[in-house]
């Protein structure tokens, strides 16, 4: 890396405008130029091939732009990581030994920064009310060098969301699709080692190469991770918000009388496993007690490469647990007929899955967008609380 080669730097007009915007704005992290200078001593700017460092600056949050497609991880948002960062900031303040996010001056707007990292830190700043944050500004020779740099920024020792093999596969596939590398094994392998060296073992990198080669010509859909948390700090992708967006009653029985629950006609729960014991126990207890059906909505709590397998396994777990409950009841009552139970009398039913492949792939053979409630194959289905369990279809 050429540090300030040819005296390159962020234009003074841009620096002065950022100072003007930051003046008298909220600053709970107590950031200032003294903090910047101290951080340069404890966390010097990273060296990136093809990158020129233009300086470390307190960039207004309002001047930071994020492109979801440019985020290095194979999912756009993780609310739990935002919570961790926010708690870390609240307890420790700003860590001067931590590498800051990186960005480049936007083309056509010299006051704006295209952020290549720091997506979750930006969300955390919004939660804290922090109006500006340190950013290392770079100029890159090409888009491939910039892609590698934004992945390398996630290899630091500060609180970070570890990159998975799928994250690196996504980056390689997108680089090939954008024409940044040739679609051959040598180019894929070279990029894999540039991206993941120092973070993954050679065996893991070889696995990344194999998976990327199979997917060249297609890209993953963005994957939504739903949070079970509630309140203003929970973020946009929550189970509560999803249920509300689909016109489904809020899950559980809290803050409603028995009469209100009976009046709404059914009870909803979300579960990440088809045999989740806590969910089943609540479902049987409340469904039997109130005489109304209980519908379970399935979702994956983490990013999964094979969503169809997860969903099929979920339904198998659901049916297996249901059969255990039937066997248990039968052993007590000895009343189950030979041709099976009356499904209308069994109060716990499986409704379907939350949509998690959020956006369509740009490639022709990409998976279609999932909308609303879907079956295991991602096809939209209509929820009818008077209908039959999806596992019977």
How far apart are alpha carbons 353 and 348 in whole angstroms? 15
Residue with structure tokens 């993780």?
Answer: 78
Q: What is the pLDDT of residues 275-327, one digit of tens each?
A: 999 999 999 999 999 999 999 999 998 767 678 899 999 999 999 999 998 88
Q: What is the pLDDT of residues 54-109, one digit of tens each?
A: 999 999 999 999 887 666 554 455 677 788 888 889 888 999 998 999 999 999 89
Strand-pairing partners, residue 357, are: 223
Distances (CA, A) of 53 to 10, 139, 197: 10, 7, 22
Residue with structure tokens 């509630």?
Answer: 230
How far apart are alpha carbons 55 and 137 in whole angstroms? 6
What's the pLDDT at 224?
73
Q: What is the pLDDT of residues 187-208, one digit of tens each?
A: 888 899 999 888 899 999 989 9
How far apart are alpha carbons 196 and 209 in whole angstroms? 11
Strand-pairing partners, residue 349, are: 295
**Structure tokens given for 279:** 């969910």
Task: Report pTM.
Answer: 0.51
How far apart are alpha carbons 267 and 292 in whole angstroms? 7
Q: Which residue has the higher pLDDT, 183 or 376?
A: 376
How far apart are alpha carbons 87 and 82 in whole angstroms? 9
Q: Give the DSSP H or E segment for 177.
A: helix 165-177
| Domains, in order of start, for the chain | 5-149 (3.90.1530.10), 163-220 (no CATH), 232-392 (no CATH)
Q: What is the pLDDT of residues 365-393, one digit of tens each?
A: 555 568 889 999 888 999 998 898 898 87
Distances (CA, A) of 285 to 54, 280, 291, 333, 392: 63, 8, 10, 18, 22
User: Is it the case that residue 210 has pLDDT exceeding 80?
Assistant: yes
3-state secondary structure at position 76: coil
Q: Which long-range contacts (CB under 8 A, 24 or more apart) does 312-316 make?
A: 312/376, 313/274, 314/273, 314/274, 314/353, 314/376, 315/274, 315/350, 315/376, 315/390, 315/391, 316/274
What's the pLDDT at 221?
47
Tallying the residues shown for the chain, one arrives at: 393
Q: What is the pLDDT of residues 111-155, one digit of tens each?
A: 999 998 888 888 889 889 999 999 999 999 999 999 899 888 764
Residue with structure tokens 């700003």?
Answer: 94
Burial class (CB in 10 A: 0-12, 13-18, 19+), 159: middle
Range with the poorest average pLDDT among 23-32, 133-142, 281-290, 337-346: 337-346
Q: Which residue has the higher pLDDT, 46 or 361?
A: 46
Q: Give the DSSP H or E segment for 58.
A: strand 51-60
Contact in structure between 360 and 175 (CB atoms under 8 Å): no
The Cβ of residue 117 has, within 10 Å, a number of other Cβ atoms equal to 26
Residue 156 DSSP class: S
What's the pLDDT at 333?
64
User: Is it the case that residue 361 has pLDDT exceeding 70?
Assistant: no
Residue 348 backbone dihedrals phi, psi, to 5 degrees: -95, 125
Distances (CA, A) of 137 to 72, 121, 246: 18, 16, 42
User: Is it the case that residue 347 has pLDDT exceeding 90?
Assistant: no
Range with the poorest average pLDDT among 21-25, 37-41, 192-196, 209-213: 209-213
**Structure tokens given for 299:** 């979702």
3-state secondary structure at position 213: helix
Q: What's the mean pLDDT in 345-353?
A: 84
Of 84, 102, 98, 197, residue with least CA distance to 146:
102
**Structure tokens given for 330:** 């039968």
Q: What is the pLDDT of residues 157-170, one digit of tens each?
A: 455 556 888 889 98
What's the pLDDT at 235?
63
Q: In what order do the strands lie in the sheet with 348-354?
A: 267-271, 294-298, 348-354, 373-374
Q: What is the pLDDT of residues 219-273, one digit of tens each?
A: 444 567 788 877 666 566 789 999 999 999 999 999 999 999 999 999 999 999 9
The Cβ of residue 42 has, within 10 Å, a number of other Cβ atoms equal to 10
pLDDT bracket for residue 359 (50, 70, 90): low
**Structure tokens given for 216:** 């060249």
How far apart are alpha carbons 253 and 23 in whole angstroms? 48
Distances (CA, A) of 74 to 174, 227, 265, 344: 11, 17, 39, 41
């Amino acid at each position: 890396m050429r540090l300030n080669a040819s005296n390159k730097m962020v234009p003074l007009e841009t620096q002065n405008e950022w100072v003007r915007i930051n003046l008298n704005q909220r600053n709970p992290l107590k950031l200032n130029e003294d903090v910047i200078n101290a951080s340069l001593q404890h966390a010097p700017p990273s060296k990136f091939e093809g990158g020129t460092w233009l300086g470390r600056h307190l960039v207004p949050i309002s001047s930071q732009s994020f492109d979801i497609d440019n985020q290095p991880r194979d999912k756009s948002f993780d609310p739990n990581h935002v919570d961790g960062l926010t708690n870390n900031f609240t307890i420790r303040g700003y860590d001067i030994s931590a590498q800051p996010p990186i960005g480049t001056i936007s083309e056509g707007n010299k006051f704006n920064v295209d952020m290549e990292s720091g997506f979750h830190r930006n969300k955390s700043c919004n939660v804290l009310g922090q109006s500006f944050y340190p950013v290392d500004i770079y100029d890159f020779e090409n888009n491939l060098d910039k892609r590698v740099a934004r992945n390398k920024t996630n290899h630091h020792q500060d609180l970070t969301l570890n990159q998975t093999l799928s994250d690196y596969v996504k980056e390689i596939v997108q680089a090939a699709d954008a024409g940044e590398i040739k679609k051959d094994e040598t180019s894929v392998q070279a990029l894999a080692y540039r991206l993941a060296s120092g973070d993954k073992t050679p065996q893991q990198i070889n696995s990344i190469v194999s998976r990327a080669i199979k997917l060249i010509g297609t890209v993953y859909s963005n994957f939504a991770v739903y949070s079970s948390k509630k309140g203003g700090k929970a973020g946009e992708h929550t189970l509560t918000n999803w249920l509300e967006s689909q016109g489904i009653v809020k899950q559980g029985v809290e803050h409603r009388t028995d009469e209100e629950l009976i009046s709404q006609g059914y009870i909803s729960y979300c579960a990440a496993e088809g045999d989740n014991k806590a969910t089943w126990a609540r479902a049987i207890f409340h469904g039997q007690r109130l005489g109304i059906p209980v519908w379970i909505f399935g979702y994956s709590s983490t990013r999964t490469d094979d969503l169809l397998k997860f969903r099929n396994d979920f339904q198998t777990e659901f049916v297996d647990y249901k059969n255990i409950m039937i066997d248990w009841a039968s052993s007590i009552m000895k009343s189950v007929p030979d041709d099976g139970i009356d499904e209308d009398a069994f109060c716990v039913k499986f409704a379907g899955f939350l949509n998690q492949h959020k956006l369509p792939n740009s490639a022709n053979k990409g998976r279609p967008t999932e909308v609303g409630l879907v079956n295991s194959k991602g096809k939209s289905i209509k929820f009818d609380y008077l209908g039959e369990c999806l596992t019977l279809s």
